[in-house]
Amino acid sequence: RYTESRARSYVKQILLAVTYCHEKNIVHRDLKLENFLFDHSGPEAILKMIDFGLSQHFHEREPMVKAVGTPYYVAPEVLKGSYTNSCDIWSLGVIAYMLVSGQAPFYGPDDQTILRKVRAARWSFDSQIFKHI
């Protein structure tokens, strides 16, 4: 769990990386905490996006259909089989939630349970965790 200030800095860095990719018509499709590394150790370290194994070039008016990604982070529209590069923005929202709470907004004992919760797209902000945010 990070402070709101530190999380905001990290989310901004991630958003800049995602924006750069999207401007080049590249969608990552597997944004998750594990796919960001610091360029060095220390308080001024910069995040670097990694693992473009599921990334793809996209065209504005052509939806993607292949369901890929990591259960905790995948967007509901990906699971429905018709989505755009905005799937990365959903994943970024999940990352932001996790950075400040230390928890996933969608969780369960197995992938099926997690994916069912993602499809329903219902989450909550636990008052104990989020009371200072």
- Cβ of 105: how many Cβ atoms within 10 Å? 20
What whole-number distance in Å separates Cα of residue 62 and Cα of residue 100?
A: 34
Which DSSP category does 21 fall into? H
Which DSSP category does 35 fall into? G
Indicate if 30 belongs to the active site. yes
Picking from 5, 35, 7, 19, the residue whose alpha carbon sits closest to that of residue 99 is 7
Which DSSP category does 39 fall into? S
The helix, strand and coil proportions of the chain, stated in percent and rounded to the nearest 5, come to 45, 10, 45
Active-site residue identified among 30, 39, 111, 126 = 30
Q: Which positions are annotated as active-site residues?
A: 30
